[in-house]
């Protein structure tokens, strides 16, 4: 033990001359222990374990070094550079697929996701709102609406007292209320993004609107100015490369004028333009400051505003920045608020990065919004004008969507908040929404083996391609095993995007990639993608998604038991919600193909698939052997779907086949896994076989959500489901952090954590929400 511990200590110190955080190797070791189904404790580390651990670690390190230092790309999973948890983020700005800019709950612009799949966690100090109040021709109050006290721009009045501000978010809107101390003035900034269910145009727009409601509680009129300042860039070193420039603009159309400043960011890789603007109307003046140095004191723009509550509005373009220089701009909206009165100012933020490429730089792609605003890179004036003249319509649609839920007395506040605020990731998940190229043809999207997908080309042509990352640290697009949990957001609110995504997955299923790949877990080489197997993901943003799938390289997912099943379940769920018969007809042969392949995992012909003794499902560090509650329940649910769809399409032979499997499999599932209170984790009889898994009812959840909860499709006895959910609630929920952190994935029957793997002792957000949904469904049925 002493020798192995010393070896670990030495290896964790340095590797190839690079300092390596021990957390990365600990995760690798946890994966190794998962393969052995034993608790991960330091005292259990043997010399053999260390050798295995170093093998996986060295394979990962070689891959990581090649990716970061040779290819100069970001790895899809970077164990050495984990992101710190920072509880500063608020509601992101922007629609789907054009990039997002996130404001923190303290008002700062603090996260940027414009380049495909890339985040910049930079709080850009110069990006601020400032208020100026004037009474009787004299400035009486001027304040940056930020609690920060930065080391730059010290000519500005920082340090707004947080006691006088309040933030509230209900995605896609957010409100910040400022009670200006001693002024009898209250400012409410309402932030609006165009996230509108069943809307496939405005929801794609890279814009945000700030509606400032100004309330004057005093007995005399006050002139109020709101100034928005913005740095040219995202706070990265690219801002200093030189060649960037700003220019004022004004656009009048359909009786409305919008004015502001364009900030052209001339990156040689993917150039883009930012725009800050305000809407002019009767009684509202809009002025600007074309360029100032955000790294200096900021005295020029501050004094300009202080002098008369307006900016000088110089004409003409600003000069190009030199290397090492940065530049910023300002726009200001001003109006007079009468005594005891109320007025509104409207400001906007837009960005235009119409043409993008992925890390491979093989293809140029156009974002969805270019269909409506062009791809020349000059859309910011039109985007700004459109946003500031249409946001009221957006809000009407948002309110009509949210009102029935918000006004329901039967729903608790946490539920209402979760339904809307957790949707942010659909926009902010490194999301892409791309147009097919004008020259594209059917084979380009269906591949050589996808000719049977008759609707794939018209669907993708009309609605584009949609993708989002598994997470900000797991940078793979449309990771399918977890999309299974998140997919209801698209299927219920933007079903055409879910259908589009499913067609891309189906095309990937039918095609193969024969290139060999070394998988890190076992060090073996296997084919990247087999035919008739659902891919783990649609690709890496540093490569060429859709063209090359399966960026995940820890395990060979061809042997995973859940991916094919989740495809079948989602196909029927999508049909159930959309009644799209052409979609179902296209997907039926694909469902048969993946289920026929899945049948090979039923090694004993009892109608129930078996796990293979490695982490062969979404819990990729948690081993199951034999029949398992998770994969078994998904299997039986998918078998029910095959019976249902066979009946719809009139395929009697398939119906007979899977009806027999359903009967056998349901009996085997109960016999092998039911213990009188819940379903065991697996049937291996090992020391952790009786673990209570929070996700054991996943199949029942999906069946009921798809309307298959009656007669022959009631494959799981209701009394067993209710008993299992009760056990999970008592142990995994209330027995974990006193019920304050959701449901832990695995809990022992005695109330102790399952420590057989890293993942068994974690709580996963998607799983917790799925469990909560299952409980709500079952309780609702019981009450009815």
Q: What are phi and psi of 253, to 5 degrees?
A: -155, 135
Q: Is 45 a residue whose pLDDT tops 70?
A: no
User: Where does residue 22 fall: left (phi above 0), alpha (psi -120 to 50 degrees), or beta otherwise?
Assistant: alpha
Any domain includes 186: yes
Any domain includes 294: yes
Any domain includes 42: no
Q: What is the pLDDT of residue 528?
A: 93
Any domain includes 335: yes
Instruction: Determine the 3-state secondary structure of 379 from DSSP.
Output: coil
Q: Is 601 a residue whose pLDDT tops 70?
A: yes
7 and 121 fall within a common domain: yes
3 and 98 fall within a common domain: yes
Write the CATH number for 113: 2.70.98
Q: What is the pLDDT of residue 57?
A: 81
What pLDDT digit, counting tens, does each position of 114-133 carry? 999 999 999 999 999 999 99
Percent over 70 (pLDDT), the chain = 93
Q: What is the pLDDT of residue 115?
A: 95
pLDDT class for 43, splitting at 50, 70, 90? very low
pLDDT class for 51, splitting at 50, 70, 90? low
Collect contacts of 6-9 with beta carbons under 8 A, ≥24 apart: 7/47, 7/50, 7/54, 8/45, 8/50, 8/53
Any domain includes 418: no
316 and 464 fall within a common domain: no
626 and 545 fall within a common domain: no
- Average pLDDT on 709-715 reads 87
Q: Is 271 exposed, middle or buried (0-12, 13-18, 19+ CB in 10 A)?
A: middle
Helix (H) or strand (E) holding 309: none
Any domain includes 50: no
322 and 442 fall within a common domain: no
| End-of-domain residue from the set 546, 579, 612 | 579
374 and 446 fall within a common domain: no
pLDDT class for 9, splitting at 50, 70, 90? very low
Lowest mean pLDDT among 67-81, 277-291, 601-615, 724-738: 67-81
- Average pLDDT on 680-688 reads 97
Q: What is the pLDDT of residue 159?
A: 96
Q: What is the pLDDT of residue 782?
A: 52
Query: 627, 688 in Cβ contact below 8 A?
Result: no
398 and 523 fall within a common domain: no
What does the alpha-carbon distance between residue 274 and residue 756 come to, in Å, rounded to a whole number?
A: 50
HEC-encoded secondary structure of 402-444: HHHHHCCCCCCHHHHHHHHHCCHHHHHCCCEEEECCCCCCHHH
217 and 315 fall within a common domain: yes
Write the CATH number for 622: 1.50.10.10
Any domain includes 589: no
- pTM (predicted TM-score): 0.93
Q: What are phi and psi of 706, to 5 degrees?
A: -105, 15
What does the alpha-carbon distance between residue 600 and residue 602 come to, in Å, rounded to a whole number?
A: 5
**Cα–Cα nearest to 773, from 678, 706, 681, 679:** 706
Dihedral of CA atoms 140, 146, 149, 154 in degrees, nearest 10, equals -50
| End-of-domain residue from the set 403, 427, 455 | 403
- Residue 567 domain boundaries: 436-579
Count how many residues are written for the chain. Answer: 784
698 and 614 fall within a common domain: yes
Lowest mean pLDDT among 58-72, 283-297, 347-361, 544-558: 58-72
Place of tokens 């001693």: 182
Q: For the chain, what is the mean pLDDT?
A: 92
Q: How big, in percent rounded to 5, are the helix, strand and coil portions of the chain? A: 35, 25, 40
What pLDDT digit, counting tens, does each position of 341-373 carry? 999 999 999 999 999 999 999 999 999 999 999
506 and 567 fall within a common domain: yes
Q: How many domains does the chain have?
A: 3
What does the alpha-carbon distance between residue 548 and residue 545 come to, in Å, rounded to a whole number?
A: 6
Q: Any idea what DSSP says for residue 119?
A: -
What does the alpha-carbon distance between residue 263 and residue 233 come to, in Å, rounded to a whole number?
A: 8
What does the alpha-carbon distance between residue 210 and residue 90 come to, in Å, rounded to a whole number?
A: 14
Neighbouring C-alpha atoms within 13 Å toward the C-beta of 566: 26
Give me the residues paired with residue 477 across strands: 469, 539
497 and 607 fall within a common domain: no
Instruction: Determine the 3-state secondary structure of 749 from DSSP.
Output: coil
Any domain includes 553: yes
Tokens of 73: 């790309």
What pLDDT digit, counting tens, does each position of 130-154 carry? 999 999 999 999 999 999 999 999 9
What pLDDT digit, counting tens, does each position of 543-600 carry? 999 999 999 999 999 999 999 999 999 999 999 999 999 999 999 999 999 999 999 9
- Residues in Cβ contact with 601 at an 8 Å cutoff, skipping those fewer than 6 apart: 561, 609, 610, 611, 612
What does the alpha-carbon distance between residue 755 and residue 10 come to, in Å, rounded to a whole number?
A: 26
- Average pLDDT on 721-743 reads 97
573 and 625 fall within a common domain: no
What pLDDT digit, counting tens, does each position of 376-390 carry? 999 999 999 999 999
pLDDT class for 52, splitting at 50, 70, 90? low
């Amino acid at each position: 033990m002493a020798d192995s511990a010393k070896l670990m200590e030495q290896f964790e110190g340095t590797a190839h001359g690079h300092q390596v955080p021990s957390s990365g190797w600990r995760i690798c070791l946890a994966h190794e222990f998962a393969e052995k189904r034993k608790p991960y404790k330091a005292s259990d580390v043997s010399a053999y374990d260390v050798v295995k651990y170093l093998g996986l670690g060295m394979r990962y390190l070689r891959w990581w070094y090649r990716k970061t230092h040779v290819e100069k790309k970001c790895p899809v999973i970077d164990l050495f550079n984990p992101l710190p948890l920072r509880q500063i983020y608020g509601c992101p700005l922007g629609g789907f697929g054009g990039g997002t800019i996130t404001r923190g709950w303290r008002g700062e612009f603090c996260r940027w996701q414009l380049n495909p799949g890339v985040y910049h966690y930079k709080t850009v100090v110069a990006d601020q709102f400032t208020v100026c109040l004037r009474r009787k021709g004299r400035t009486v109050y001027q304040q940056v609406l930020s609690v920060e006290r930065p080391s730059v721009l010290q000519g500005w009045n920082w340090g707004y007292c947080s006691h006088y501000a309040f933030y509230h978010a209900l995605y896609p809107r957010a409100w910040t209320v400022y009670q200006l101390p001693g002024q009898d003035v209250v400012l409410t900034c309402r932030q609006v993004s165009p996230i509108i269910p069943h809307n496939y145009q405005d929801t794609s727009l890279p814009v945000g609107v700030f509606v400032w409601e100004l309330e004057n509680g005093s007995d005399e009129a006050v002139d109020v100015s709101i100034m928005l300042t913005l740095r040219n860039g995202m706070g990265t070193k690219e801002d200093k490369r030189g060649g960037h420039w700003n220019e004022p603009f004004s656009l009048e159309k359909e009786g409305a004028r919008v004015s502001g400043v364009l900030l052209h960011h001339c990156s040689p890789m993917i150039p883009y333009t930012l725009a800050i603007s305000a809407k002019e109307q009767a009684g509202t003046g809009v002025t600007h400051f074309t360029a100032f140095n955000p790294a200096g004191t900021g005295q020029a723009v501050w004094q300009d505003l202080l002098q008369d509550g307006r900016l000088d509005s110089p004409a003409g373009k600003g000069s190009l920045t030199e290397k090492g220089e940065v530049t910023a701009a300002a726009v200001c909206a001003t109006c007079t608020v009468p005594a005891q009165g109320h007025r509104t100012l409207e400001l906007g933020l837009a960005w235009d990065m119409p043409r993008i490429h992925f890390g491979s730089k093989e293809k140029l792609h156009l974002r969805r919004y270019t269909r409506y605003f062009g791809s020349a890179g000059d859309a910011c004036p039109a985007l700004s004008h459109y946003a500031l003249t249409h946001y009221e319509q957006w809000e009407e649609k948002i309110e009509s969507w949210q009102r029935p839920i918000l006004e329901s007395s039967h729903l608790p506040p946490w539920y209402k908040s979760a339904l809307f605020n957790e949707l942010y990731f659909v926009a902010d998940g490194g999301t892409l929404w791309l147009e097919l190229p004008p020259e594209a043809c059917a084979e380009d999207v269906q591949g050589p083996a996808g000719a049977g997908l008759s609707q794939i080309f018209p669907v993708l042509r009309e609605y584009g391609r949609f993708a989002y990352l598994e997470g900000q640290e797991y940078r793979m697009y449309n990771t399918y095993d977890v999309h299974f949990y998140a997919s209801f957001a698209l299927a219920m609110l933007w079903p055409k995007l879910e259908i589009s995504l499913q067609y891309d997955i189906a095309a990937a299923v039918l095609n193969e990639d024969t290139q060999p790949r070394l998988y890190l877990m076992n060090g073996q080489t296997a084919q990247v993608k087999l035919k008739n197997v659902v891919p783990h993901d649609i690709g890496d943003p540093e490569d060429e998604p859709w063209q090359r799938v399966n960026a995940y390289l820890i395990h060979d997912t061809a042997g995973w038991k859940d991916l094919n099943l989740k495809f079948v379940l989602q196909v029927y769920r999508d049909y159930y919600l959309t009644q799209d018969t052409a979609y179902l007809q296209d997907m039926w042969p694909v469902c048969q193909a993946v289920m026929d392949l899945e049948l090979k995992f039923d090694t004993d012909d009892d109608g129930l698939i078996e796990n293979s003794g490695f982490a062969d499902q979404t819990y990729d560090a948690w081993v199951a052997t034999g029949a398992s509650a998770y994969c078994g329940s998904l299997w039986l649910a998918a078998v029910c779907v095959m019976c249902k769809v066979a009946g719809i399409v009139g395929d009697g032979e398939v119906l007979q086949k899977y009806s027999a499997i359903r009967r056998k499999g349901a009996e085997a599932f109960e016999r092998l896994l039911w213990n009188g209170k819940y379903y065991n984790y697996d049937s291996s009889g090992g020391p952790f076989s009786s673990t209570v898994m929070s996700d054991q009812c996943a199949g029942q959840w999906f069946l009921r959500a798809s309307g298959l909860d009656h007669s022959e499709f009631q494959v799981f006895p209701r009394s067993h489901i209710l008993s299992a959910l009760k056990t999970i609630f008592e142990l995994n929920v209330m027995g974990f952090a006193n019920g304050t952190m959701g449901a832990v994935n695995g809990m022992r029957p005695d109330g102790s954590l399952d420590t057989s793997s890293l993942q068994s002792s974690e709580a996963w957000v998607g799983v917790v929400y799925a469990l909560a949904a299952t409980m709500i469904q079952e309780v609702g049925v019981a009450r009815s």
